[in-house]
């Protein structure tokens, strides 16, 4: 592709990275084999809660092919730290969250089915797995609490002595007194109880790790399916203590999807890299899918009670919410932040709500740890506000679009009562456009036509806003984050003029190798095949915070812009020197440096070569070389917003639902590659359809077993569960970063579930239905809402 105008910002450039994936030449962690490697297999707890009296590994050690077996005692003897949560949340009484230790391998207690008990290292995966069956663990089974609603009650089985009533924190946010006052004078109060259903991320690539130790250099290398290799390295060195940072290389090669589940630092990669030094050979572990189900961090899992106070004209006066959020058995790396600062802060939605008060209890249960999953707190907030707003519209007899318009924020910047300050937006524009694409006006006729065929049609809206592009380091630091959320970029110009960009972002499907190259191509006027994007290796990229929270455009690309600014400035100095002109007279455009007002000019490649030959450079003014780095710290979150409209058609005989039309109109600010942005929206909506209609992570109340432990029992969306989507875009530029970009990666999953549930409740004429709204649930809802007379 040599036409530069088709390669720059705003163009639907086809992806550079695709060639290796479509030809089967990707390098995912399980594809990699290291010389003399062994295979690791984890023995996991079959019980939701038990004391470990004894672990007898003698028979297992004697099994064929076994090299070593490690338990929690071995790790403790080496004085390793446990796994951490990097965000500290405080309760209403000012006390810090209550955290029990999270050992890499269980010491005396197992706390969920799948909890890690031992690592078997053997010559083959089969040998390790067979040997694991010979390990005798003497468990004292204990009662378990897996039902979120019960675990805070007196008498519930306790997870951690540090957390009485299994309560990790009792957090609050908002203006409590103003909220009480608003409710006191409300003309109408609408109440709703909501369940945000537990989901299991299931990226298609199972987690994997290869730990290695070089006894000559004392250096460790870890290949891991991570969204953030530098964060993994920092946690493993500074908190777990496997190795000092400078002796630990972490590589995240091609990673097959993450959606948040590959942010966290887990027991498996920790144990493998530590044990590799003990064994003296690389240790490779790859999860079987059933292990992914049991031990990848799960998502969502909130129980909420919400109340909306209205005046006589449908204007919202206040919102109050009480949420119980499941944290699982241990705090995962990000977990405390998700149902607090990523949730409560979005409860204003697109609406001008003067008073909001939210209380969140974070509760431990004997289930897998719960942490960020696509949207991380914002789907939960959006579901709540869009369901209660829809309910309020119906109960006040107002059209749902009209109710929303009466409450939209229209003046910016807008300070909400829940920390977020919305910088720019136009919510009417996205609602208008979505209604047009969805032909909302024609819905009544389509509903009537469907009724003549015996089918029930419904229309549901979701006008969402979310906060992403995480995040200003000072802001998150003041809210309890242990890390800053800036991003880094280094632009290296080679003598021959091609460019390498080393980014702290990590692509596991987002297409950074293409989109980042588009940005550089636009700036430097060179073709994208002359630009290489390097990511995922702590030996190459000095430090980065990784990819999640829809941050790689807004934060990652802004870092590249800053580095490019520095490159351009130095290149101009060099060009000025070469052309014997003043640097202020140099114009850089379309890959050429020109002395203003003359025809003296140099090509990019001439300047890049000169940077490295450095002939005659005034040594106190220009250093040789052309390589610049930058760190970019965002000054605000970004606030993508928009409107989803879902139209469903339900067969009342079977409860089977068809999505007749799904429209999404989003404002993402500046768009680098519309093809990729649309793909992100498609994928997000499909995950939202999964949450709304299909998916549920279930633990059996009696046994604590994970009932939905495979793709047999957990319903992943397949191609015939989703329609083709109809997308549109509006634009208000983000004022807080150089490119005007807002994040786009999670919006689809955030906005869609309430649109779908609103459509179903509209179709059935009912107040509420729980997610997932399976055919069985829909059918039952129809039966219970049918008047008795119809049956007679």
Could you say whether residue 22 binds another protein (CB under 8 A)?
yes
Query: At what angle are helices 400-407 and 378-395 packed, to 10 degrees?
Result: 110
CA nearest neighbour of 13 among 536, 717, 527: 527
CB closer to another protein out of 66 and 163: 66
Beta-carbon contacts of residue 660 (< 8 Å; ≥ 6 apart): 446, 457, 647, 648, 649, 723
Could you say whether residue 200 binds another protein (CB under 8 A)?
no
CB closer to another protein out of 229 and 748: 748
Could you say whether residue 644 binds another protein (CB under 8 A)?
no
Q: Given its phi and psi angles, is residue 599 left (phi above 0), alpha (psi -120 to 50 degrees) or beta? A: alpha
Could you say whether residue 30 binds another protein (CB under 8 A)?
yes
User: DSSP state, 360?
Assistant: E
Distance separating alpha carbons of residues 750 and 756, to the nearest angstrom? 12
CB closer to another protein out of 131 and 676: 676
| The binder of another protein chosen from 718, 767, 780, 786 (CB under 8 A) | 718
Which part of the chain contacts another protein (CB under 8 A), choosing from 438-446, 484-492, 588-596, 720-728? 720-728
State in angstroms the smallest separation of the CB of 723 from another protein: 9
Distance separating alpha carbons of residues 461 and 465, to the nearest angstrom? 13
Could you say whether residue 506 binds another protein (CB under 8 A)?
no
**Binding footprint of another protein, residue count (CB under 8 A):** 57
Six-digit token string for 550? 């829809």
What would the 3-class secondary structure string for 37-80 be?
CEEEEEEECCCCCEEEEEEECHHHHCCCCEEEEEEHHHHHHCCC
State in angstroms the smallest separation of the CB of 31 from another protein: 4
Distance separating alpha carbons of residues 610 and 772, to the nearest angstrom? 63
Q: Given its phi and psi angles, is residue 36 left (phi above 0), alpha (psi -120 to 50 degrees) or beta? A: left
- Cβ(547)–Cβ(506) under 8 Å? yes
Per DSSP, helices labelled H in 253-412 are 267-279, 289-295, 378-395, 400-407
Could you say whether residue 193 binds another protein (CB under 8 A)?
no
Could you say whether residue 1 binds another protein (CB under 8 A)?
no
CB closer to another protein out of 41 and 70: 41
Site residues (CB under 8 A) for another protein, limited to 270-299: 286, 288-290
Could you say whether residue 513 binds another protein (CB under 8 A)?
no
Could you say whether residue 19 binds another protein (CB under 8 A)?
yes
Torsion of CA 682, 684, 689, 690, to 10 degrees: 120
DSSP run (H or E) holding 791 = helix 788-791
Which part of the chain contacts another protein (CB under 8 A), choosing from 306-314, 400-408, 507-515, 534-542? 507-515
Q: What angle do CA 524, 525, 528 make, to 5 degrees?
A: 95
CB closer to another protein out of 103 and 509: 509
Beta-carbon contacts of residue 786 (< 8 Å; ≥ 6 apart): none
End-to-end CA separation in angstroms for the chain: 71
Burial class (CB in 10 A: 0-12, 13-18, 19+), 630: buried
State in angstroms the smallest separation of the CB of 363 from another protein: 28
Which part of the chain contacts another protein (CB under 8 A), choosing from 156-164, 297-305, 399-407, 719-727? 719-727
Could you say whether residue 731 binds another protein (CB under 8 A)?
no
CB closer to another protein out of 365 and 687: 687
| The binder of another protein chosen from 28, 42, 334, 357 (CB under 8 A) | 28
Could you say whether residue 791 binds another protein (CB under 8 A)?
no
Distance separating alpha carbons of residues 405 and 427, to the nearest angstrom? 8
| The binder of another protein chosen from 3, 5, 24, 313 (CB under 8 A) | 24
CB closer to another protein out of 167 and 227: 227
State in angstroms the smallest separation of the CB of 411 from another protein: 35
| The binder of another protein chosen from 126, 399, 539, 590 (CB under 8 A) | 126
Site residues (CB under 8 A) for another protein, limited to 659-698: 675-676, 678-679, 682-687
- C-alpha 9 chain-centroid distance: 25
Q: Does a cis peptide bond (omega within 30 degrees of 0) precede residue 61? A: no
**x/- contact string, 244-263, with another protein (CB under 8 A)?**
----------xxxx-x----
Burial class (CB in 10 A: 0-12, 13-18, 19+), 445: exposed
Could you say whether residue 472 binds another protein (CB under 8 A)?
no
Could you say whether residue 548 binds another protein (CB under 8 A)?
no
State in angstroms the smallest separation of the CB of 559 from another protein: 23
| The binder of another protein chosen from 74, 115, 205, 746 (CB under 8 A) | 205
Could you say whether residue 600 binds another protein (CB under 8 A)?
no
CA nearest neighbour of 681 among 717, 728, 732: 728
- Cβ(513)–Cβ(16) under 8 Å? yes
Could you say whether residue 536 binds another protein (CB under 8 A)?
no
Could you say whether residue 113 binds another protein (CB under 8 A)?
no
User: DSSP state, 699?
Assistant: B
Distance separating alpha carbons of residues 430 and 412, to the nearest angstrom? 16
| The binder of another protein chosen from 62, 96, 204, 474 (CB under 8 A) | 204
Contacts to another protein by CB under 8 A: 14-15, 17-26, 28, 30-31, 126, 201-206, 254-257, 259, 286, 288-290, 508-511, 675-676, 678-679, 682-687, 710-712, 716-720, 722, 724-725, 748
């Amino acid at each position: 592709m040599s036409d530069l105008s088709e390669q720059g910002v705003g163009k639907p450039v086809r992806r550079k990275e695709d060639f290796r994936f479509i030809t089967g030449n990707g390098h995912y962690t399980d594809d990699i084999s290291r010389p003399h490697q062994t295979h690791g297999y984890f023995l996991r707890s079959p019980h939701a809660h038990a004391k470990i009296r004894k672990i007898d590994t003698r028979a297992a050690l004697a099994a064929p092919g076994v090299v070593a077996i490690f338990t929690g005692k071995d790790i403790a003897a080496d004085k390793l730290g446990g796994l951490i949560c990097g965000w500290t949340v405080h309760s209403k009484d000012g006390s810090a969250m209550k955290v029990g230790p999270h050992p890499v391998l269980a010491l005396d207690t197992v706390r969920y089915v799948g909890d890690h008990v031992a690592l078997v290292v053997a010559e083959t995966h089969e040998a390790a797995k067979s040997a694991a069956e010979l390990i005798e663990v003497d468990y004292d089974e204990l009662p378990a609490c897996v039902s979120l609603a019960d675990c805070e009650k007196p008498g519930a089985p306790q997870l951690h002595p540090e957390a009485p009533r299994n309560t990790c924190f009792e957090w609050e946010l908002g203006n409590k007194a103003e909220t009480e006052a608003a409710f006191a004078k409300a003309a109408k109060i609408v109440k709703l109880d909501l369940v945000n259903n537990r989901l299991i991320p299931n990226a298609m690539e199972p987690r994997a790790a290869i730990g290695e130790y070089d006894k000559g250099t004392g250096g460790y290398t870890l290949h891991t399916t991570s969204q953030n290799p530098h964060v993994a390295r920092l946690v493993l060195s500074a908190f777990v203590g496997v190795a000092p940072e400078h002796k630990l290389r972490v590589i995240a090669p091609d990673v097959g999807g993450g959606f948040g589940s590959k942010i966290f630092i887990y027991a498996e990669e920790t144990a493998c890299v530590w044990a590799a030094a003990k064994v003296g050979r690389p240790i490779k572990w790859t999860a079987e899918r059933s292990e992914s189900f049991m031990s990848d961090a799960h998502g969502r899992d909130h129980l909420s009670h919400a109340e909306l106070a209205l005046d006589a004209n449908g204007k919202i006066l206040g919102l109050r919410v009480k949420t119980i959020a499941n944290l699982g058995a241990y705090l995962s790396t990000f977990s405390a932040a998700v149902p607090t600062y990523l949730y409560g802060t979005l409860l204003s939605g697109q609406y001008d709500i003067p008073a909001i008060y939210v209380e969140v209890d974070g509760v431990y249960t004997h289930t897998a740890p719960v942490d960020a999953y696509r949207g991380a707190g914002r789907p939960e907030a959006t579901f709540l506000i869009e369901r209660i707003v829809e309910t309020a519209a119906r109960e006040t007899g107002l059209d749902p679009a009209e109710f929303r318009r009466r409450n939209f924020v229209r003046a910016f910047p807008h300070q909400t009562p829940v920390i977020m300050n919305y910088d720019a937006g136009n919510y009417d524009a996205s609602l208008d456009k979505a209604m047009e694409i969805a032909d909302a006006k024609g819905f009544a006729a389509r509903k009537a036509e469907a009724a003549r065929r015996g089918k029930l049609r419904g229309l549901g809206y979701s006008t969402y806003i979310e906060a992403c592009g995480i995040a200003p380091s000072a802001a998150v630091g003041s809210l309890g984050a242990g890390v800053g959320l800036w991003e880094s970029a280094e632009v290296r110009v080679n003598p021959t003029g091609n460019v390498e960009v080393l980014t702290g972002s990590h692509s596991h499907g987002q297409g950074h190798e293409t989109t980042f190259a588009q940005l550089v191509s636009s700036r430097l006027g060179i073709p994208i095949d002359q630009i290489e994007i390097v990511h995922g290796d702590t030996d190459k990229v000095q430090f980065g915070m990784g990819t999640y929270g829809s941050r790689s455009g807004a934060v990652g690309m802004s870092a590249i812009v800053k580095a490019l600014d520095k490159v351009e400035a130095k290149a101009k100095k060099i060009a000025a020197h070469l052309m014997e002109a003043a640097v202020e007279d140099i114009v850089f455009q379309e890959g050429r440096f020109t002395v203003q007002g003359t025809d003296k000019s140099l090509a990019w490649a001439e300047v890049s070569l000169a940077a490295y030959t450095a002939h005659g450079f005034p040594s106190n003014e220009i250093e040789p070389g052309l390589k610049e780095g930058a760190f970019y710290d965002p000054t605000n979150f970004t606030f993508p917003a928009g409107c989803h409209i879902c139209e469903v058609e339900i067969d009342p005989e079977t409860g089977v639902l068809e999505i007749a039309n799904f429209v999404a109109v989003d404002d993402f600010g500046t768009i680098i590659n519309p093809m990729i942005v649309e793909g992100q929206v498609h994928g997000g909506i499909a995950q939202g359809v999964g949450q709304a209609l299909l998916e549920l992570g279930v633990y059996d109340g009696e046994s604590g077993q994970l009932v939905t432990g495979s793709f047999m029992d957990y319903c992943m969306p397949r191609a015939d569960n989703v329609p083709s989507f109809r997308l549109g875009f509006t634009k208000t530029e983000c004022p807080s970063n150089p490119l005007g970009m807002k994040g786009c990666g999670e919006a689809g999953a955030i906005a869609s579930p309430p649109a779908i549930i609103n459509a179903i409740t509209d179709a059935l004429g009912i107040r509420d239905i729980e997610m997932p709204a399976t055919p069985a649930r829909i059918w039952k809802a129809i039966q219970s809402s049918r008047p008795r007379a119809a049956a007679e």
